[in-house]
Amino acid sequence: MVGGDVAAVEVRDVVVRYGDTTAVDGVSLSAPRGRVLALLGHNGAGKTSLLQVCEGFRKPDAGTVRILGMDPVAEHDALMPRLGIMLQSGGVYPWAAAGEILRLFASFAANPLDTEMLIDRLGLRAVEKTRFRRLSGGEQQRLSLAVALVGRPELVFLDEPTAGMDTEARHTTWQLIEELRADGVSVLLTTHLLDEAERLADDVVIMRSGQVAATGTPAELTAAAGIDLLEVRADPGLDLTGLKARHEVAESSPGEYAITGALDTRALADVLGWFAGVDAHVTALSSRRRTLEDVYLSLTRQTTTTVGAAK
């Protein structure tokens, strides 16, 4: 199934405009086969527009797109049987039942997966005969995912796959995506959930205002950011004047000192050196590594207002 050295997704200098608005502004990225790539960014960062171009729903206003080595617009009909597409919402016959919808989409595929298996795997058995419009948001999402997977795609596009799902369904979905990757299927997903990206993605692309703000593996992205919090337990009531000149520091509770900021090795040594210099008796140390969420927030924060306080 893995087709040699042709990338799953190859995007070069892509621009997408809606009237005067530039939604995607010169994005280039490459996703190798058999890996999971997560596209992160705020609403309006251009994720869905970029996905639309990859899915062949619209032509880019500039740049080139190759999906499994093919042009998604010009070679649409030849490409579609190899893709699985999960849209954010809509587009399913509201009066048809979940099982009927899945079987309909299965009928479009040359060699579909067993629909009964998918219904069981995605926990849709109880609502198999329920009409789409009566399904809950999470159930609609699960059906949508089943529809994207039923044709045994080589590459799947998942636009916020777990939005609206409960914890259990989310874990099932994660498991399914991991199985897809194990089978050599390539996955390109967008998400707002940093833990989702950190758990699933081999590669992460963070978008901001239609451009790529950062790319890398989750480990690379978090490692580059280093330690951002050092907590030191020492004698209470130390005079911090000298340390404050060089670092952000506060005595959060008596004897508990919190030093914040991007702390590299030299900075850590400097902090500990200061404690040694004032003859403080240090009894405990703890550091916090930046999470993907911190990286994400610092990269995507466009104004000085705090965007998210998820932590």
Partner 1 sequence: MTSMSLARGHVEVLQFLRDRTSVVFTFLFPALLLLLFGTIFGDSYDQAGVSASQVYASSMLAYGILTTGFVTMGAGLAMDREDGTLKRLRGTPLPLTSYLIGKLILVLTMAVAEAALLILVGVVVFDMPLPDASHWLTFAWLFGLSVIVCTLLGVAVSGIVKHARSAGAILNVPVVILQFISGVFIHPITQLPTWLITVASLFPVKWMAQGFRYVFLPDSMKSLEAAGAWELGRIAMVLGAWCVIGLVLCLATFRWSEKDR
Residues in the site for partner 1, rule: CB under 8 A? Answer: 18, 55-58, 77, 80-81, 83, 85, 87, 89-96, 100-101, 103-105, 107-110, 131, 147, 151
Q: Which residue, 151 or 218, is less far from partner 1 as judged by CB?
A: 151
The pair phi, psi for residue 150, each rounded to 5°, is: -65, -25
Lookup: tokens for 5: 């050295």
Lookup: tokens for 87: 């849209």
Q: Which residue, 110 or 182, is less far from partner 1 as judged by CB?
A: 110
Contacts of residue 85, Cβ cutoff 8 Å, sequence gap at least 6: 55, 148, 156, 157
Rg (CA), the chain: 24
What's the closest the beta carbon of residue 104 comes to partner 1, in angstroms? 5
Q: Please report the sign of the dihedral spanned by the C-alpha atoms of residue 61, residue 63, residue 65, residue 66.
A: positive
What's the closest the beta carbon of residue 193 comes to partner 1, in angstroms? 23
Task: Please tell me the distance from the alpha carbon of residue 266 to that of residue 236, in angstroms, as a whole number.
Answer: 25
What's the closest the beta carbon of residue 4 comes to partner 1, in angstroms? 23
Q: Which residue, 46 or 218, is less far from partner 1 as judged by CB?
A: 46
Task: Please tell me the distance from the alpha carbon of residue 126 to that of residue 39, in angstroms, as a whole number.
Answer: 33
What's the closest the beta carbon of residue 64 comes to partner 1, in angstroms? 20
What's the closest the beta carbon of residue 11 comes to partner 1, in angstroms? 18
Q: Which residue, 92 or 187, is less far from partner 1 as judged by CB?
A: 92
Q: Which residue, 148 or 230, is less far from partner 1 as judged by CB?
A: 148
Q: Which amino acid is at 221?
A: L
Q: Which residue, 87 or 238, is less far from partner 1 as judged by CB?
A: 87
Task: Please tell me the distance from the alpha carbon of residue 113 to that of residue 165, in angstroms, as a whole number.
Answer: 23
Task: Please tell me the distance from the alpha carbon of residue 21 to that of residue 100, in angstroms, as a whole number.
Answer: 39
Q: Which residue, 26 or 81, is less far from partner 1 as judged by CB?
A: 81
Contacts of residue 212, Cβ cutoff 8 Å, sequence gap at least 6: 27, 28, 29, 205, 206
What's the closest the beta carbon of residue 185 comes to partner 1, in angstroms? 16
Let me know: does 112 contact 152? Beta carbons within 8 Å: yes
What's the closest the beta carbon of residue 102 comes to partner 1, in angstroms? 11
Q: Which residue, 42 or 103, is less far from partner 1 as judged by CB?
A: 103
Helical segments of 19-66, H only? 47-54
Q: Which amino acid is at 121?
A: R
Q: Furthest-apart CA pair in the chain: how many Å?
A: 76
Lookup: tokens for 163: 């939005």
* SS3 state of residue 165: coil
What's the closest the beta carbon of residue 49 comes to partner 1, in angstroms? 10
